[in-house]
Amino acid sequence: MSYLKNLSHEEIEATLDTLENGFAMYGPKMQLLYANQTARDLFPNFYEKLLETGSHFEATAEEIRRQYPDASEDEISKMTAYAVKVVLTGEPNEFTSDGGKVIRTSHTLLPNGIRVGVSMDISAIREKERELKHTKRAAQAANKAKSEFLASMSHEIRTPLNGVLGMAQALASRELGLEERNMVDTIVESSKSLMTVLNDILDLSKIEAGKIETSPVTADIRHQMRAIERLHRPLAAEKDLYLRVAVDKSVPEHLIIDPVRVRQCIDNLISNAIKFTSAGGVMVAVTSQAKPSGRHTVTIHVSDTGIGISSQDQDKLFESFSQADPSTTRRFGGTGLGLAIARKLANLMGGDITVASEEGAGSVFSFTFEAEVVLNNVVTQTEAPSSASGQHSAEAGLKGVRALVVDDNGINRRVARLFLQPLGMVVTEAVDGQDALNKLAHHTFDIVLLDIHMPIMDGPETFQRIRNSGKPWQNIPVIAVTADAMSGDREKFISMGMTDYVSKPIEEKLLTAALIRCLGGATQSSATRKRNAA
């Protein structure tokens, strides 16, 4: 400080002139006391006018006139008043300099009444922000285009796959020789494998777009683990492997979880363990630990005696479309999406999936997620199957029900017919929405199976015309049968008022379940009962 006292005014001004930022000082009446060279270079016209008139207001107005030549005097006066107010209150403000640079200014009032103004060139910052916004918009557009492409491809793939899987399922229900039975089973399994790949890609797309959500309900995780064990045991036995599942007593019986997503993660880990194990077996252990918040952290360890994973390859496991070793895909198949999706789902449920492994010595995958404990015994069983007798009774109630199948694709109509007729249903076909309305007007039906994407009149418009018709059939149950299977599609069609939803390719059991729900389970529809009574 003592050194500064010895500097002359000329030396201080020369020092201030070297600053990259503009620096100016004003008196109590906003008269200019000093402006360094940077400030004068940034706003030469402003400072020239200020020195000429001595009025900060006039100099500001002149600068605004120069920057907004088309503005009226009234507009200039209002903008000037605002700019001066910003200076007096010390609020930061931005201006465009004579050279087109974006300048950020701020003013500070000192105790002695002198006001200090600092100007900073932020053109590079604003340009970077514009670049980032452009990049973000481009990324969003690319992500949207990808989602639309996947939705379109999903629809295009599911439509012919509906024919393949539908016909194969229909054949499987017939009397076949051993060789033919094996052929049909191969077609069904291959079709389902293709569906798994397609669903994985759609799941990944939904996760990346932030459109996937969990649906927690009260469930019995012990019951779920028993169901998972029953599902995978035949595959393990086929490879002469053991599969053991143990649930620790620390695990609460009833938890609030998303059973579908939890099972998706566990199924992936167990199927991978069986796939990459040729001798020995797989052990699944479930434990739980209470948290101070009252929630529980559930951990599911899946250990195997398989090929193991080297430390350098473990990081690749959770990358999309990646496997630890490229030769793995050739030997065992798969898209490399399962673990990537499972980890993202675990993250959504407040957990994670980690791995501990050594090449040639097996692996241990640990899946954790958070769950609330249910303190009462009211449980929503999401997986409890209905009894065989109850199912047969419900299916018997479909006999004689008249169904109108609306689809522009002849193969899809034939697949639907092959599923419905063995249930004793009477099937009529319509090739588009207008054809459907014509048939509804001249014939009696109990239910409509409605495709969404059709020429002439699509599914949503057909549905609205049915509901707004004022005819006796305006409240007929309508099932959306569509290849639209992206996240939210089911909710979208249900929110339209459709009675139920079945995605293509059609699974016979799911279609039958939807029919039973729509037509009142084991009881026949009112229209059918009236016909039978007559």
CB 520 within 8 Å of CB 401: no
Single residue among 92, 121, 150 that ends a domain in this structure = 121
> Nearest Cα to 408, choosing from 440, 378, 441, 433?
433
Helices 221-238, 259-275: inter-axial angle, 10-degree rounding: 20
Q: Give the end of a domain, one of 93, 121, 149.
A: 121
Residue 383 maps to a domain: no
Verify that 117 and 150 share a domain, yes or no.
no
DSSP code string of 114-166: -EEEEEEE-HHHHHHHHHHHHHHHHHHHHHHHHHHHHHHHHHHHHHHHHHHHH
In a shared domain, residues 29 and 142: no
> Which pLDDT belongs to residue 480?
94
- CA gap 402, 313 in Å, rounded: 58
For residue 341, give every residue at least 6 positions away whose Cβ sits within 8 Å of its Cβ, in sequence order, or none: 200, 203, 204, 207, 264, 268
Q: Is residue 112 part of a domain?
A: yes
- Tokens 């030549």, residue located: 69
Distance CA 396, CA 344 (A): 43
Domain final position from 312, 338, 373: 373
Tell whether 382 is covered by a domain: no
Tokens for 45, please give them: 């016209």
One domain, residues 140 and 105: no
Residues 305-336: pLDDT tens digits?
988 888 777 777 777 645 545 444 444 444 45
For residue 280, the domain's CATH number is 3.30.565.10
Residues 357 and 287 in one domain: yes
For residues 411, 414, 419, 424, the Cα torsion angle rounded to the nearest 10 degrees is 170
Q: Are residues 461 and 358 in the same domain?
A: no
Of 429, 420, 440, which is closest to residue 527 (Cα–Cα)? Answer: 440
Which residue has tokens 């899987």?
165
Measured distance CA(107)–CA(116) in Å, rounded: 5
Tell me phi and psi for residue 107, to 5 degrees.
Answer: -125, 140
Which parts of the chain have pLDDT scores under 70? 1-7, 98, 151, 205-206, 208-211, 320-337, 376-394, 486-488, 521-534
Q: How many domains does the chain have?
A: 4
State how far the Cα of 366 lies from the Cα of 403, in Å rounded to an integer.
48
- 228, 161: one domain: no
Residues 357 and 221 in one domain: yes
Distance CA 63, CA 60 (A): 5
378 part of a folded domain: no
Average pLDDT of the chain is 83
Domain that holds residue 166: 130-208
Instruction: Give the separation between CA 246 and CA 225, rounded to whole angstroms.
Output: 9
* Residue partners of 43: CB distance under 8 A and separation at least 6: 22, 63, 95, 97, 98, 103, 119
440 inside domain: yes
Whether omega for the bond prior to residue 92 falls within 30 degrees of 0, making it cis, is: no
